[in-house]
Amino acid sequence: MPSLKDLKNRIASVKSTRKITKAMQMVAAAKLRRAQDAAEASRPYTDRFNTVMDGLASGAAGSASAPRLLSGTGSDQTHLLVVMTAERGLCGGFNGNIAKLARSHAQKLLAQGKTVKILTVGKKGRDVIKRDLGDHFVEHVDLSAVKRISYHNAQSIAKDVLVKFDAGEFDIATIFFSRFENVVTQHPTASQIIPAQFEAVEGGETSLYDYEPSEEAVLADLLPRGVATQIFAALLENAASEQGARMSAMDNATRNAGDMIDKLTIEYNRSRQAKITNELIEIISGAEAL
Amino acid sequence: MANVQFDLVSPERLLASVEASEVQIPGADGDMTAMEGHAPTITTLRPGVLRVVHSGGTDEYVVSGGFAEITAKGVSVLAEQALPRGEMTQEVFNAMIADAKAAMKSAEEVFKNEPGPVDDAAKLISDMVAMGGHIGLTSN
């Protein structure tokens, strides 16, 4: 049985924890708004880009002269996994879910005898998968100093990936991130970026356009940009998901702290009452004995 | 005169969406002006100044890289980097030039015996310098 003083201290400590989680929840809510706005703002670009790419790629995919970014290297021996997670914790299962998906994917590939290389973005995911897949790490991108994800960040990651691809270090690249559905649901997602995958559009659409300088040149110019665009979109989705996950995790924590305070307060009152009753009994029995 | 729907988007935001009577685009193979009824064209961009003429006057934007999709009814410019000309300061310009120079340096390292990518990077720099001269900024 803890003493009254212990209980009082305990209640005070849980109360200050609740204050912190409440503040974190509100900060996450504000950041979520901003992250969602950023994701929203990038959508027109991504949509249009994909429409044009779909048209171009479906025209070029069949031809033998298609760029390697589109047709692949002809092998699928070496896989590069780009695992994007948060730089900070306290966001529920967010980092764990992405890492879990990446890990199961990697283990499946390893079981098939493929070579796996891992590029991590964000240190939390790196810590999680380090234990079993640490030997496969090739590079790490640190975004902890970045307050607001800009296209520039995506471009530099894309450049890293493309340089590795040109150097023949891998055949297939897949990115892992969390797709933002709403505040309570985020789906960990894997999406292949090299070789590029595009939805085929019905024929005829492509021949409508004149291409300047030429269809091949435009395609060769756009494919690397496509990689950056996809990484950028994934980073934005991830940022929104992270804040959403943190918001609901902190909401839960605030509620749990509230429950705990209620329980502790009841316990405190009961033991205070018990103490008073005890004292009364002592006084009364003392008076009776006289 | 009929107008075309003009949209300028960068990955981070939608910069402009107006009805324009003509749009002057810095295409990779040379400048072109798109007006209503233009043949459907997709062209890549070089760094340069994009001019949009509409009923309220003329807007100018500085774009670097990307592509434009032109149809009879509209022009969509998807620029990697785009800002209104007024926001184009010497500092921004210097940063762009520095980026381009860094890209050229890494291209030189990666593609030692293939001139293609290095030439592309060199052209990018000269396009930027030309654009800077056009709007009154100097490169050092």
A52 with B41: Cβ contact below 8 A:
no
Please tell me which of the candidates A45, A150, A212 has its beta carbon nearest to residue B43: A212
Same domain flag for B26 and B50 = yes
For the cut 90, the answer to whether the pLDDT of residue A166 exceeds it is no
H runs (alpha helix) in A61-93: 68-71
Q: Is the ipTM of this complex over 0.95?
A: no
Where does A99-245 show beta strands of DSSP type E?
A: 115-121, 137-141, 172-180, 186-194, 210-212
Please tell me which of the candidates A159, A211, A225 has its beta carbon nearest to residue B80: A225
**pLDDT reported for residue A148:** 82
Query: Domains in chain B: how many in total?
Result: 2
CA-based max dimension of chain B = 53
Query: Mind telling me the catalytic residues of A?
Result: 91
Q: Looking at per-residue confidence, does A105 or B129 come out higher?
A: A105
**pLDDT reported for residue B65:** 82
Cα atoms in the 13 Å half-sphere on the side-chain side of B2: 10
Contacting residues of B for A45, CB less than 8 Å apart: 9-11, 14, 78
Same domain flag for B103 and B76 = no
* ∠ CA A230-A231-A236, rounded to 5°: 100
What span, in angstroms and rounded, lies between the C-alpha atoms of B64 and A99?
36
Q: Which CATH number fits domain A4-21+250-284: 1.10.287.80, 3.40.50.12780, 3.40.190.10, 3.40.50.720?
A: 1.10.287.80
Q: Considering chain A, tell me which residue range(s) the CATH 3.40.1380.10 domain(s) occupy.
A: 32-245
Q: Considering chain A, tell me which residue range(s) the CATH 1.10.287.80 domain(s) occupy.
A: 4-21+250-284
User: Containing domain of residue B96, as a range?
Assistant: 89-134
**Closest approach of B124 to chain A, Cα-based (Å):** 13
* ∠ CA A260-A262-A263, rounded to 5°: 65
Q: Give me the residues of chain B with pLDDT under 70, please.
A: 1, 110-116, 139-140
Q: Where does residue A108 rank: exposed (0-12), middle (13-18), buried (19+ CB within 10 A)?
A: exposed
**Closest approach of A119 to chain B, Cα-based (Å):** 20
**pLDDT reported for residue A207:** 53
**pLDDT reported for residue A202:** 54
- pTM: predicted TM-score of the whole model, two decimal places: 0.86
Antiparallel, parallel or unpaired: β A210-212 and A78-84: unpaired
Same domain flag for B74 and B26 = yes
**Domain A32-245 is found in CATH 3.40.1380.10:** yes
> Which residues are B29's β-sheet partners?
none
Where residue A204 falls among pLDDT bands split at 50, 70, 90? very low
